[in-house]
């Protein structure tokens, strides 16, 4: 369960303070994937970062019952000069995975990301699709109650997209995905609820189609 309790979040800009959320209270349902919609800059990534515990609201509290992944984005947390393997190892080690278990996860990630020999090349030579695949694969190597997915599923090619869809289906029983995306097909297929961000407010749509409609009219 993820509870947002009277969350206010703003950023200072040269044109004054910009509020992406003001006094928002909401409880995400468990066992139902959430589609997070909103225009660029509406605060989708910020919300994911706050849930992930790496950004703090100006006021209010976020309570998470269960384990949460880091926000999986295209560029986040990867060092360009290091190989995919080294980046993978770093994430494993930080999560307390060493030795045989690390090698096992490494194997899974190399296989799942389908980046082949690129796994041993610096991440800076990757295409954005490859980066996304690696990032997604690393996250999938760990079991979390909540996965925070930031604009990553739209990037891969169709083969990979199908694969990640299958993976999401497989984990539906145990885990909840919160997916920020501009890919409406993805939202339709995967999510049972839509959360629309805009003008400092959070709007909830139990009907996914209605949510997508509202987003497209925004």
Partner 1 sequence: MRTGVSRKGLAHGFNVMVNVIKALILRELKTRFGSYRFGYAWILAEPLAHVIILSLVFGVRGRVGPLGIDFPAFVATGIIPWTLFYSMVTRGMSSIEANRPLFTYRQVRPLDALIARSILEICIYSVVFVVFMLGLWAVGFDARVKDPLGVMFATFSLAGFGFGIGLIAAVLTVPLPDVAKIIPIVIRPIYLISGIFFSVDQLPTELRDVVLWNPVLHALEIIRANYFVNMSASHGDVEYFAWFVVVPLVVGLTLLTLFHQKLIST
Residues that bind partner 1 (CB under 8 A): 49, 52-56, 67-68, 70-71, 73, 75-79, 81-82, 86, 89-91, 93-98, 142-144
Nearest residue (CB) to partner 1, 70 versus 160: 70
Interstrand relation of 34-37 and 59-64 (parallel, antiparallel or unpaired): unpaired
Nearest residue (CB) to partner 1, 145 versus 189: 145
The distance of closest approach from Cβ of residue 92 to partner 1 in the complex, given in angstroms and rounded to an integer, is 8
The distance of closest approach from Cβ of residue 199 to partner 1 in the complex, given in angstroms and rounded to an integer, is 22
The distance of closest approach from Cβ of residue 180 to partner 1 in the complex, given in angstroms and rounded to an integer, is 15
> Taking a C-beta distance cutoff of 8 angstroms, is the pair 4, 26 a contact?
yes
Nearest residue (CB) to partner 1, 26 versus 90: 90
The distance of closest approach from Cβ of residue 184 to partner 1 in the complex, given in angstroms and rounded to an integer, is 27
Nearest residue (CB) to partner 1, 86 versus 114: 86
The distance of closest approach from Cβ of residue 156 to partner 1 in the complex, given in angstroms and rounded to an integer, is 20
CA 100 vs CA 93, 103, 106, 107, 124: distances in Å: 12, 5, 10, 11, 28
Number of other residues whose CB lies within 10 A of the CB of residue 17: 9
Alpha-carbon distance 12 to 112, whole Å?
Answer: 40
CA 158-161-162 angle, to 5 degrees, is: 90
Alpha-carbon distance 29 to 22, whole Å?
Answer: 21
Nearest residue (CB) to partner 1, 82 versus 214: 82
Alpha-carbon distance 176 to 147, whole Å?
Answer: 6
Residue located via tokens 């309570």 = 63
């Amino acid at each position: 369960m993820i509870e947002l309790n009277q969350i206010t979040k703003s950023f200072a800009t040269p044109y004054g303070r910009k509020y992406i959320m003001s006094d928002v209270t909401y409880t995400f349902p468990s066992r139902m994937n959430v589609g997070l919609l909103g225009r660029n800059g509406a605060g989708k990534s910020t919300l994911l970062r706050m849930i992930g515990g790496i950004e703090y609201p100006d006021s209010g509290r976020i309570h998470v019952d269960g384990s949460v992944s880091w926000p999986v984005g295209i560029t986040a947390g990867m060092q360009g000069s290091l190989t995919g393997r080294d980046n993978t190892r770093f994430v494993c080690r930080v999560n307390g995975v060493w030795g045989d278990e690390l090698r096992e996860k490494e194997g899974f990630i190399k296989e799942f990301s389908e980046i082949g020999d690129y796994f041993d090349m610096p991440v800076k030579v990757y295409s954005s699709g490859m980066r996304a695949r690696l990032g997604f694969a690393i996250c999938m190597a760990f079991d979390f109650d909540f996965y925070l997915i930031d604009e990553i599923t739209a990037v891969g090619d169709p083969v990979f997209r199908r694969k990640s869809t299958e993976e999401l289906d497989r984990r539906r029983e145990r885990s909840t995905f919160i997916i920020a995306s501009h890919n409406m097909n993805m939202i339709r297929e995967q999510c049972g609820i839509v959360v629309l961000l805009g003008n400092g407010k959070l709007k909830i749509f139990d009907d996914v189609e209605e949510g997508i409609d509202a987003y497209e009219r925004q």
